[in-house]
Amino acid sequence: MLGDIFDAKFLRKLESLCIECKKTYSGTRKGNYEMVNKRGTSVEFADYQAYVPGDDFRYIDWNIYWRLDKLLVKTFKEEVELSVHILLDSSKSMLFPKEDKKFDYAKDLVIALSYIALSSKNSVRIATLSNGNKTSKTAKNKTPFFQQKENIFTMADFLRGLTPEGELDLVNSVLKYTFELKGRRGTIVVISDFMMKPEVYVKALNFLRFKNFDVKVIQILGANELDPFTKAKRGQIVDVETKEKKTINFSAANRKLYTDYLEDHNKQLRHFCRTRRIVYSLAKTNVKFEDFILRELPRIGFIR
Amino acid sequence: MGFINLIALGYLALISLVVLIYFFSKKKNVIEVPSIIPWKVLKEDVVRSRLFKVDLLFLLQILALLLLIFFLTRPYLRSSIINISGKNIILIIDSSASMQTSEDDGSRFDQAKSQALKMISNLNQWDKMMAISASSSSEIISEFTNDKHKLDKAINKLRPKDTGTNLEESLSLGISFLKNVERGEMHVLTDQSPSSISFTKLKAENIKFIRYGKNFANVAITSFDVYQDMFKDYTEREAYVTIKNYSDDNQNVILNVFLNSEKIEEKEIELKSNEQKTLKVKNFTTSGILKAEIQTNDFLSVDNTAYAIINKIKPINILLVSNDNKLKSELEKIRRSAHRIRITRIEVPDYAPETIKNYNAAIFHKFVPENNPDINSLYIFPSTNTSDTQTKNTEEGNIFSTLLVPKQRLVKNVKLLDWDNTHPTMKHLDNLDELSIESSLEMEPPDWSTPLMKIAGNSDNPPIAFAGKYAGKRIMVLGFDISDFDFSKSDNLQALIMTLNIIQWLNPYEIEGSAKILTGGQYIPNYNVKGNIEILNPEGETLKYNFKDGTEGHFVFNDIEYVGEYKISGADTEGRFVANLFDEKESRIEPDSTDDEALEFERKDAITSTEDKKNEFSKYLLLFVPLILLLEWLLYYRKVRAGTA
């Protein structure tokens, strides 16, 4: 089962969408992804590119050469299969604050994106991000690549079997995932609360960029996480992952400090993504899921 | 510093309770967050940063708790108090009649008073004194006090009485106080010798007798009697004055007798040392106060005067309630010799309670009225029942007769065994046993009566005659019928005398002067006292007494302190009596030669003692607790407002 929100109407809407990818990758199967290919396996002309040594002489447009005295190579469009990697943060922090149900929101998001990708004849894989090497060997932390829409149920079952635990080691998790991937590039969607030091996500996301992935980031935060000061007046806070403790007075002054910090933290992440051509979106669990999928993500170019 | 209640330190365990409360209040506010990173910019709360960290609120709570525990341990500071304990002096001043004896420098009482005032002025500030006046009774005129003004006032107010001395009682009273005080001294200012008191009692205590009196020449009237009865006219009445010379020398004495302030007699006699003479005074013309006064060269005047009352001669109306005329005819024989007696006979059926209003006494012959007739009465043979034994039941018979004679039994051939010849009705009856009584009622006497005549056979048997006072009236009951006796026969002389005695006893006018009252004694009126009464004493002082309605009291007047006439007046009461000294002990003013040096007297001095005192101060500390609580509240309120609470 996919969940109550995934009714037929909503699924139909999802089927009309596809995940945007700004990079070109060669695919083995035909898909909805339009790849510009110099090799000209397609018949639909796409564009000209400057000749570089090694290009096939057959694609040089000699008419242009004679007219402009420039060697240009014709390129052709080709719709190929896109690999979509959805990396879901399954560390314990995704369970807290419990009232926000961040992980449930994230799982719905994964299903929706997977369904969109499968509907677009792309191959989709879900992998979990947690404490890297420390992950139990027996636990399955990723699915195979699926191409058929019917497989959405298998993916949903996989998601249902996940229990967030442990501490997130984003860098190592990403390294490990890409190492095991053996060169299958494509769009990689990282879903996490990104409650980590900037240098960690910078390192992890840059690594993905360097590996030529089309990186997309969805940061999930809950309303209580954004403003936890309404819950209590004082208390000792405990980091559910590191177990680090701190006694805090939930004063107005502290509230401002907290919200300012969080805003700044999110701004840094957003700025980093923007400057690195990474599509970034903040998913607040109190925002209606359908609105986020059908309005917010197309608006920012995540999907089209 | 010390603690009276160290056990209270156990409450210190409560501090751990406060700590636990703090600990648990911290534990319960644990909030799990996804990451601590955004929280790191916040400063750690100083209160909750550690598992347990004290803050000002906690300190104030602990301080309040410590103060309370400190209070419960009752801490004290030792301090030494220097006490100066003075002596306690009990002063007994003899204020009896003999102390009025004139000496060269005032009376003995004046000398004693001066001495007392001198002693008061010599008192140190830490000495205390108590003053007791000793006359016929003892009176504490001042409790232990170091207030000299108060003592002076009490002594100055004191006046000598015309009474005898009960010095022993005063000494006993003083000794009882002396035993309960430290550094006690008792000073007895008197003209009496300690030999008159139990020497053992005196020796055991620290008593000093200060004795007064050098002069001893005294002549006194030792008795003053008027012989009067209802059968004698004023001129037949006689008064006898006995005068005694207590001096060592012969004394010439002039006796003046006054009747209602009018001199009726003056006689001059010479008395040898310790000689006493009785002088007769007669030829009285009227009733009133008879005063005998002697003029002589002596030092005590209070015993030179004596008073007596000549009773007023009034006809006595006697109501005889009898169906039998025989008793009337016998009583008529008495009336013929004593003109003052008027006898009226009515038949029993004619008797009504209001009938007696015009009479002074009543004789009920073989009849007892249903209600108490409220008159001096004689009941003769108070039963018409001839059965041998009769027990009246209060529920069946009339109430008054049951009260008068609860039980009675008829006996024949009565032989008198004993009679109370001290009773006025039994006077001059030496051979009453010769009286031949054929039958009589044995009657159980009521509580208020005195048995007068008992018959032979069984001494435990009830009497055949009794008398007493019931509801303020004199009542006599005879179990035999005196009408059986013929008063004109010499054999029945005893019965005649008894009847005359009874009539005289029942006469209310004869009662007035009959009592011989001495100063220091008591006066008991022979009528019921009701409402407010006033008694004017010879010194002109009016003493007021109040008897509330319904409390018709048995009034006993005890304040007879002066020689002379006492006038009693009230709403429906008029009366008088006279009081005389007639006390040989007081008249014999010669100082006793017995030496009192055998009494050991130790003059006490004030002592200084140091006393360790524990001054508890915890109650003052307790005052800080509300202050701390207020401070705590203010601090908490401030924290709440700042959002840091």
Per DSSP, the residues of B544-563 read EEEE-TT--B---B----SS
User: Using a CB-CB distance cutoff of 8 angstroms, which residues of chain A are in contact with residue B43?
Assistant: 254
The Cα angle at residue B511 between residues B508 and B514, in degrees rounded to 5: 165
- B386 lies in some domain: yes
| Shortest Cα distance, chain A CAs vs residue B68, angstroms | 31
For the ranges B145-159, B248-262, B520-534, B586-600, the lowest mean pLDDT is seen at B586-600
Structure-block tokens of residue B84: 């100066």
User: Using a CB-CB distance cutoff of 8 angstroms, which residues of chain A are in contact with residue B35?
Assistant: 93, 193, 195-196, 239, 241
For residue B284, give the DSSP letter. Answer: -
Q: Is A19 helix (H, G, I), strand (E, B) or coil?
A: strand
Q: Is A112 helix (H, G, I), strand (E, B) or coil?
A: helix
Query: Which of B37, B43, B44 lies at the smallest CB-CB distance from A196?
Result: B37
* Same-domain pairing of B350 and B434: yes
> Is B579 within 8 Å of B307 (Cβ atoms)?
yes
| Shortest Cα distance, chain A CAs vs residue B20, angstroms | 17
User: Using a CB-CB distance cutoff of 8 angstroms, which residues of chain A are in contact with residue B642?
Assistant: 251
Global confidence as pTM: 0.53
For residue B585, what are the β-bridge partners? none
* Same-domain pairing of B346 and B211: no
Q: How far from the centroid of its chain's Cα atoms is residue A63's Cα? A: 44
> Is B476 within 8 Å of B506 (Cβ atoms)?
yes
pLDDT-based confidence at residue B396 (cuts at 50, 70, 90): very low
Among B32, B638, B641, the residue to mutate for chain A (most A Cβ within 10 A):
B32
Pairing of strands A187-192, A83-89: parallel
* Same-domain pairing of B193 and B121: yes
User: Using a CB-CB distance cutoff of 8 angstroms, which residues of chain B are in contact with residue A253?
Assistant: 643
Identify the residue with better confidence: B391 or A285. A285
Q: Which domain holds residue B539?
A: 517-580
* Same-domain pairing of B91 and B199: yes
Give every residue of chain A whose pLDDT is below 70, as ranges.
24-44, 77-81, 132-139, 231-234
| Shortest Cα distance, chain A CAs vs residue B635, angstroms | 16
Q: How far from the centroid of its chain's Cα atoms is residue B627's Cα? A: 60
For A242, B329, B420, B495, the CA distances from B485, given in Å and listed in that order, are 139, 11, 21, 7
User: Using a CB-CB distance cutoff of 8 angstroms, which residues of chain B are in contact with residue A97?
Assistant: 32-34
| Shortest Cα distance, chain A CAs vs residue B52, angstroms | 11
Q: How far from the centroid of its chain's Cα atoms is residue B360's Cα? A: 33
Overall average pLDDT of the B203-214 stretch: 84
pLDDT-based confidence at residue B389 (cuts at 50, 70, 90): very low
Percent of chain B, pLDDT > 90?
30
- pLDDT over 90 (residue B616): no
**Interatomic CA distance for residues B243 and B246, integer angstroms:** 10
Q: Which pLDDT does position B566 carry in this prediction?
A: 92
The answer to whether B260 contacts chain A (CB < 8 Å) is: no
Q: Which pLDDT does position B53 carry in this prediction?
A: 60
Q: Which pLDDT does position B454 carry in this prediction?
A: 87
Q: B37 and A265: CB-CB below 8 Å?
A: yes
* Same-domain pairing of B138 and B267: no
pLDDT digits (tens, 9 = 90+) for A84-134: 999 999 888 888 888 889 999 999 999 999 999 998 888 899 999 877 444
- B21 lies in some domain: yes
Which chain A residue's Cα is nearest to B30? A236
Q: Which pLDDT does position B151 carry in this prediction?
A: 94
The answer to whether B619 contacts chain A (CB < 8 Å) is: no
For residue B446, give the DSSP letter. Answer: P
- B119 lies in some domain: yes
Which chain A residue's Cα is nearest to B52? A247
User: Using a CB-CB distance cutoff of 8 angstroms, which residues of chain B are in contact with residue A265?
Assistant: 37-38
Structure-block tokens of residue A27: 């695919």
Which candidate, B258, B343, B330, places its Cα nearest to that of B295? B258
* Same-domain pairing of B322 and B273: no
- B610 lies in some domain: no
Per DSSP, the residues of A200-257 read HHHHHHHHHHHTT-EEEEEEEE-HHHH-GGGT-SEEEEEETTT--EEEEE--HHHHHH
Overall average pLDDT of the B490-515 stretch: 79
Q: How far from the centroid of its chain's Cα atoms is residue A225's Cα? A: 21
Which candidate, B339, B218, B219, B223, places its Cα nearest to that of B281? B223
- B611 lies in some domain: no
Domain boundaries of chain A, sorted by first residue: 8-24+82-299, 30-80
User: Using a CB-CB distance cutoff of 8 angstroms, which residues of chain A are in contact with residue B645?
Assistant: 233-234
Q: Which pLDDT does position B240 carry in this prediction?
A: 92
Per DSSP, the residues of A20-44 read ---S----SSEEEEEEEETT--SSE
**Interatomic CA distance for residues B260 and B576, integer angstroms:** 14
Which chain B residue's Cα is nearest to A245? B36
**Interatomic CA distance for residues B578 and B290, integer angstroms:** 10
Q: How many domains does chain B have?
A: 5
Which candidate, B257, B254, B312, places its Cα nearest to that of B281? B257
Burial of B566 (0-12, 13-18, 19+ CB in 10 A): buried
Query: Which of A94, A228, A253 lies at the smallest CB-CB distance from B33?
Result: A228
**Interatomic CA distance for residues B406 and B382, integer angstroms:** 11
The answer to whether B645 contacts chain A (CB < 8 Å) is: yes
* Same-domain pairing of B118 and B138: yes
Query: Which of A95, A232, A262 lies at the smallest CB-CB distance from B29?
Result: A232
- pLDDT over 50 (residue B320): yes
* Same-domain pairing of B345 and B494: yes
- pLDDT over 70 (residue B279): yes
| Shortest Cα distance, chain B CAs vs residue A98, angstroms | 9
Q: B34 and A93: CB-CB below 8 Å?
A: yes
Identify the residue with better confidence: B433 or A105. A105
Q: How far from the centroid of its chain's Cα atoms is residue B550's Cα? A: 22
Residues of chain A in Cβ contact (below 8 Å) with chain B: 92-97, 102, 193, 195-197, 225, 228, 231-242, 244, 246-254, 257-258, 261-262, 265
- pLDDT over 70 (residue B81): yes
User: Using a CB-CB distance cutoff of 8 angstroms, which residues of chain B are in contact with residue A252?
Assistant: 643
**Interatomic CA distance for residues A217 and A106, integer angstroms:** 12
Show which of B510, B526, B547 is a domain's final residue.
B510
The answer to whether B32 contacts chain A (CB < 8 Å) is: yes
Show which of B255, B288, B313 is a domain's final residue.
B313
| Number of neighbouring beta carbons within 10 Å of residue B233 | 12
Q: Which pLDDT does position B397 carry in this prediction?
A: 47
* Same-domain pairing of B119 and B65: no
Class of A8-24+82-299 per CATH? Answer: alpha beta
* Positions of E strands within B86-192: 88-94, 102-103, 106-107, 128-134, 138-145, 184-190
The answer to whether B51 contacts chain A (CB < 8 Å) is: no
Residue where the block lists tokens 């005889």: B320
- B390 lies in some domain: yes
* Same-domain pairing of B225 and B151: no
> Is B616 within 8 Å of B76 (Cβ atoms)?
yes
Residue where the block lists tokens 């007994």: B92
* Same-domain pairing of B278 and B182: no
Per DSSP, the residues of B446-472 read PTTEEEEEEESS-TTSPPSEEEEEETT
User: Using a CB-CB distance cutoff of 8 angstroms, which residues of chain A are in contact with residue B31?
Assistant: 228, 231-232, 235-238
What single letter denotes the amino acid at residue B43? K
- B374 lies in some domain: yes
Q: Is B68 helix (H, G, I), strand (E, B) or coil?
A: helix
Q: What value does the CA radius of gyration of chain A take, rounded to a whole number of Å?
A: 22
For residue A188, what are the β-bridge partners? A85, A215
- B552 lies in some domain: yes
Residue B280's CATH number:
2.60.40.10
Q: A234 and B48: CB-CB below 8 Å?
A: yes
- pLDDT over 70 (residue B49): no
Which chain A residue's Cα is nearest to B641? A251
The answer to whether B47 contacts chain A (CB < 8 Å) is: yes
* Same-domain pairing of B50 and B104: no
